Amino acid sequence: MATKKKKLPPVFEILRDNIVEHSNPLALNAKELSSWAKGLDLPAKGQTLYYTGGEYQLLPYIDSLVKTLTYVDPASNIFSWLMEARKIVNMTGINAEKIYASILAKDKERYFSINYQAATILKSLGYDLCYDGKNEIYSGALLYELGFWKDLKEYAKRVAKSIEMTEAKTIVCLSPHAADMFKNVYPTLVDFPEVEVKTFIEMVWEKRDLLPQIDYDKPVVIHDSCRMARELGISEEIRDILTSVGVSYIEPIRNKVWTTCCGGPSKMLFPEISKTVAERRINELSDTGSKKALISCPYCLSALQSGIAKDNDFVLDDIVEFLYRGYKA
Q: What is the CATH number of the domain that holds 285?
A: 3.40.50.1860
Final residue before a domain boundary, out of 163, 185, 204: 204
Residue 3: inside a domain: no
The percent of the chain in helix, strand and coil, each rounded to the nearest 5, is 55, 10, 35
| 188 and 219 part of one domain | no
Tell me how far apart the alpha carbons of residues 41 and 269 are, in angstroms, rounded to a whole number: 40
Residue 5: inside a domain: no
Average pLDDT over residues 62-70: 66
How many domains does the structure of the chain reveal? 2
| 260 and 125 part of one domain | no
| 194 and 257 part of one domain | no
Final residue before a domain boundary, out of 144, 177, 204: 204
| 105 and 251 part of one domain | no
| 173 and 240 part of one domain | no
| 191 and 225 part of one domain | no
| 233 and 85 part of one domain | no
Tell me the backbone φ, ψ of residue 222, rounded to 5 degrees: -100, 125
| 231 and 324 part of one domain | yes
DSSP 258-303: G----SGGGTTT-HHHHHHHHHHHHHHHHTTS-SEEEE--HHHHHH
Which 3 state secondary structure label does DSSP give 222? strand
| 30 and 128 part of one domain | yes
Residue 6 clears pLDDT 70, i.e. is over it? no
Which 3 state secondary structure label does DSSP give 135? coil
- Residue-wise pLDDT for 286-320, tens only, equals 999 999 999 999 999 988 988 898 888 899 999 99
Nearest CA-CA partner of 63 in 21, 31, 110: 110
| 190 and 288 part of one domain | no
Average pLDDT over residues 194-210: 97
- Contact partners, residue 312, CB within 8 Å, separation at least 6: 282, 286
CB 157 within 8 A of CB 277: no
| 242 and 93 part of one domain | no
Tell me how far apart the alpha carbons of residues 269 and 12 are, in angstroms, rounded to a whole number: 9
Tell me how far apart the alpha carbons of residues 158 and 35 are, in angstroms, rounded to a whole number: 22
- Give strand pairing partners of 50: 172
Residue 301: inside a domain: yes
Instruction: Provide the 10 A C-beta neighbour count for residue 315.
Output: 12
Residue 1: inside a domain: no
pLDDT at 17: 87
Residue 244 clears pLDDT 90, i.e. is over it? yes
Residue 282: inside a domain: yes
Where is pLDDT greater, at 160 or 266? Answer: 160
Residue 267 clears pLDDT 90, i.e. is over it? no
Residue 53: inside a domain: yes
CB 206 within 8 A of CB 240: no
Residue 22: inside a domain: yes
pLDDT at 123: 97
- Residue-wise pLDDT for 220-232, tens only, equals 999 999 999 999 9
pLDDT at 2: 56
Residue % of the chain over a pLDDT of 70: 83
Residue 138: inside a domain: yes
- For the four alpha carbons of 239, 244, 247 and 248, in that order, the dihedral sign comes to positive
Where is pLDDT greater, at 279 or 81? Answer: 279
Confidence of residue 106 (pLDDT cuts 50, 70, 90): low
Residues spanned by the domain of 288: 211-328
Tell me how far apart the alpha carbons of residues 16 and 12 are, in angstroms, rounded to a whole number: 6
Nearest CA-CA partner of 232 in 147, 173, 153: 173
Instruction: Provide the 10 A C-beta neighbour count for residue 209.
Output: 8
Tell me how far apart the alpha carbons of residues 263 and 300 are, in angstroms, rounded to a whole number: 8
pLDDT at 24: 87
Average pLDDT over residues 173-186: 96
Element (H, E) at 252: none
Confidence of residue 217 (pLDDT cuts 50, 70, 90): very high
| 282 and 168 part of one domain | no
pLDDT at 163: 95
Nearest CA-CA partner of 263 in 293, 297, 235, 237: 297
Final residue before a domain boundary, out of 165, 186, 204: 204
pLDDT at 107: 79
- Please, what is the average pLDDT of the chain? 87
Residue 1 clears pLDDT 60, i.e. is over it? no
